[in-house]
Structure 1
Amino acid sequence: MPKGMGKTVAQNKKANHDYFIEETFEAGIVLQGTEIKSVRNGKVQLRDAFVRIRNNEAWISNMHISPYEQGNRFNHDPIRSRKLLLHKRQINQLIGTIKEQGITIVPIKMYMKDGYAKVLIGIGKGKKNYDKREDLKKKEAKREVERAFKARLRE
C-alpha cells in the first residue's frame, strides 16, 4: 500500500474476493471536466472495472463515474475508458506479468491524494471456487474468535 493514502472514494471489495492480489501500483487517472467533482462526491463504482494495456498505455474500462448534477452539457460518458498514469517501467512490468495465464490487472480502490485522484491497481491471479470458500471459512472463524473474546472481556 502506498504511503500517505488520502480519503478513500471507492473500493472494489469484489477484487479481494475474486483474486489473489500479488502486487499493487498507485496510478494517476486522466479525468475530463466535471468528473473530478463527481469523484470528490464519491460517485464512483469500481465493481466491474478492469485495466487493459493498449499501445504501451494503461487504460481503465467499465469504471462508472456518475455525471455531476450541476454539470449540464459539460458532463461526459460515465463508462468511458480513462487513461492511467504510470511510469514506463511499471507498464513494462505489467505487460510482462499479464502474459501469464490467469493473471489480470484489477482496480482495488480509488482515493484522493494531495488533491489528485489516484487508483490503486493490483496484479491479481483468479481464485477458484474452493479458494473463495476457504477464505470465507477463515473470515467466519476469525469473527467467531473475536466474538468469543469480546464475550470473555464482558465477564
Structure 2
Amino acid sequence: MPKGSGKQLAQNKKAFHDFAIEETYEAGIVLVGTEIKAIRAGKVNLKDSFARIEDGELQLHNMHISPYDQGNQFNHDPLRTRKLLLHRKEINKLIGDTKETGYTIVPLKMYLKNGFAKVLIGLGKGKKQYDKRDDLRKKEAKRDIERAFRDRQKE
C-alpha cells in the first residue's frame, strides 16, 4: 500500500501552498484517552501544526483534536504535543536535513491505515511570496486550458 493511502481524515492544504515538499514520511502517532474516537469522527485540524525533533524524538505541535463528545473526564487537551513514531534511521536523516537553513517538518495529512492513525509528514523548504504567486498563476492557466478543452469536447 503506498504512502498516504487509507481513509483520509484531515489534510493540510496550506502546507503545499507555503512549502516546497521534497520528501514524505509515514509516521505513527501516540494518542491518549478518547483522541482516537475524536479522530475517527473527523474532529482533527492540521492547519497550523508543525513537527520538531526534541531529545531525539519527533514531536507534533499545534495539531488540534477536538474533545470527544461522550468523553467527559477522560477527555484530552486539544492542543497537546504528541509524539510521532518513526524509525531511528529516518529521525537521524530528518535531524541532518532540518539543520540546513529553511527546511522544516510539516504534517501533510492524517489517515487511518489498518485501524491505526497515521500522519504523512513532509520535509519542506519555505516558499517565497513570488513562488506562491507563480504557482497560483500556473494552476490557474492549467484550469483555463482544461476548461477550454472540456468546452470544445461538448461542441
Give the TM-score taking structure 2 as reference length: 0.98
- State the 1:2 CA deviation: 3.3
C-alpha distance 32-87 of structure 1, shift in aligned 2 (>3 A): same
Instruction: Give the letter for the 2:88 counterpart.
Output: K
Contact 2:3 2:120 in 1 (8 A): no
- Residue in structure 2 matched with residue 84 of structure 1 by the alignment: 84
Take 1:4 and 1:83, find their aligned partners in 2: how far apart are those partners?
A: 19
The alpha-carbon distance between structure 1 residues 117 and 103, as it changes in their structure 2 partners (threshold 3 A), is same
CA RMSD of aligned residues (A): 1.1
* Alpha-carbon distance in 2 for matches of 1:4, 1:50: 18
In structure 1, stretches of 5+ residues that fail to align are none
Asked whether the 8 Å contact 1:2–1:26 carries over to 2, the reply is no
Work out the CA distance in 1 between the residues paired with 2:4 and 2:95. Answer: 27
Indicate the residue corresponding to 1:63 in structure 2: 63
**Counterpart in the other structure of 1:130:** 130
- Matches of 2:153 and 2:100, distance apart in 1: 49
**How many positions carry a matched residue from both structures?**
155
Aligned to 2:142: 142
Question: Hey, what's the Cα distance between the residues in 2 that align with 1:40 and 1:139?
Answer: 32
Q: How many angstroms does 1:134 deviate by?
A: 0.3
Q: Deviations over 1:76-125 (max 9, x none)?
A: 00000000000000000000000000000000000000000000000000
1:17 corresponds to which residue? Answer: 17
* Structure-2 separation of matches of 1:4 and 1:87: 17
- The equivalent of 1:96 in structure 2 is 96
TM-score (norm 1): 0.98
**AA matched with 2:90:** Q
Secondary structure of the corresponding residue to residue 97 of structure 1:
helix
Counterpart amino acid of residue 146 in structure 2: E
Identity across matched positions, percent: 69
Is contact 1:10-1:46 (8 Å) kept? Answer: yes
Amino acid at match of 1:6: G
2: distance between equivalents of 1:67 and 1:36?
10
Q: How far did 1:5 drift?
A: 1.4
Specify the SS of the correspondent of 1:108.
strand
CA contact (8 A) 2:3 2:26 kept: no
> Alpha-carbon deviation of 1:3?
4.2
Deviations 1:15-42 (A, max 9, x none): 0000000000000000001000010011
Number of the residue aligned with 1:39: 39
- Gaps in structure 2 of 5+ consecutive residues: none
